[in-house]
Amino acid sequence: MSEELLRGLTLVTALGAGLTAGVLFAFSTFVMRALDTLPPARAIDAMNAINRFAPNAWFMTAVFSAALGSLVLIVGSLLGDGGRDATLRIVGSALFLVSVAITVACNVPRNDALARVGSASAGADRTWAAFSHDWTLWNHVRTLGAFAGTVALTLAYR
């Protein structure tokens, strides 16, 4: 893969990773805190509504194009001559892919479980408190991964 192609793909991947990191950052810094101020049943309803609309074409395109770009950058950087920024491309791509993996393994299953419980269930208070704590913790981790990946990819592009 040519250095010019790697450079262009690095830019596109960094932009997708950055958009993703921004959305995740919003949840870590104010969305979850705002939901925590609501009565638990309303917080559950609000989060379930968010989760119904989050997997839309715009957001999924940003996430999955950056994930695909990350995979191609890793392979291209490993198979190429190394180039001056191969290490940064590999590290940035890997960090972003870890963020995606956390989403799939930690956050989405919690979202699915919350949707099955619903707000009218007995124990909504405990359900929301456990969900919010664990989901937010993993969101912080995936936010850091996506952000650090964006930084490394941006440095590789410079």
Written as tens digits, the pLDDT of the chain (158 aa) is 788 899 999 999 999 999 999 999 999 999 999 999 999 999 999 999 999 999 999 999 999 999 999 999 999 999 987 677 999 999 999 999 999 999 999 999 999 999 998 788 888 999 999 999 999 999 999 999 999 999 999 999 99
Angle subtended at Cα 147 by Cα 146 and Cα 153, rounded to the nearest 5 degrees: 85
Contact 63, 108 (CB under 8 A): no
pTM of the predicted structure, to 2 decimals:
0.94
69 residue type, one letter: G
- Locate all alpha helices (DSSP H) within 84-123, ordered by sequence: 86-102, 108-117
Angle between helices 124-157 and 40-53 (to 10 degrees): 40
